[in-house]
Amino acid sequence: MTLRVVILLSGRGSNFQAIAEARLPIEIAAVISNRPNAAGLDYARARGLTAIALDHTEHPDREAFDALLADEIERHRPDLVVLAGYMRILSAAFIARFEGRLLNIHPSLLPMFPGLKTHERALAEGVKIHGCTVHFVTADLDHGPIVIQAAVPVRADDTPGALAARVLAQEHCIYPQAVQWFAEGRLEINHGRVNLKGDPTSQSVLSTGT
């Protein structure tokens, strides 16, 4: 049976695009954005996918909006919900409804730099390696079980924009890979850690970019 995936996004949607173009054994059942003018929705429509705008500004109560959003997601019977640049904190009730089938991508090597402005903070700290992480979402913001990470070197002359672009190129590699592993039923969460079934070392989860 093909894995049914619902994508949530708020903007550009380049990670969604990478997943959509990766020829994965999945069906993208719907793409939902909390921002009606998100470019990701236009791309979804252009691909003939179901694209839905649910404007959070019309629902000031976070709990109520998240309940509405969760109902909409469930209408599409997803096996997996993919956060692809969804720029809103999700309520605990929402996360509980989808826990175990909710993935996020974060532009840092978690647990370093949770939250926003990760590239600026990496440069300010002078780290020599930066990167991105795909993880399962739990109630602990940006701290769920890690599926895959990619690292990039930080250059002496880096700007936040240049670093972000190099990290983003890696995001486009690791997110489709994570979704593929999920689709193959290879991701097993054990005591907050992800084991990759069929990989005796469970270490093939780090790729290094340039």
Q: Which residues form the catalytic set?
A: 106
DSSP-derived 3-state class of residue 29? strand
Q: How far is the CB of 197 from ligand GRF (least distance, A)?
A: 26
Tally Cβ neighbours within 10 Å of residue 153.
Answer: 15
Do residues 106 and 84 make contact, with C-beta atoms less than 8 angstroms apart? no
| Token reading at 124 | 């300010």
Using DSSP bridges, classify how beta strands 193-196 and 187-190 pair: parallel, antiparallel or unpaired.
antiparallel
Query: Which residues make up the interface to ligand GRF (CB under 6 A)?
Result: 9, 11-15, 84-85, 105-107, 132, 168, 171
State the Cα torsion 41-106-139-121 to the nearest 10°.
Answer: -130
DSSP three-state, residue 40: helix
- For ligand GRF, the closer of residues 53 and 64 by Cβ is 53
Nearer to ligand GRF, 45 or 77 (CB): 45
Helix (H, G, I), strand (E, B) or coil at 119: helix
Q: Closer CB to ligand GRF, residue 3 or residue 110?
A: 110
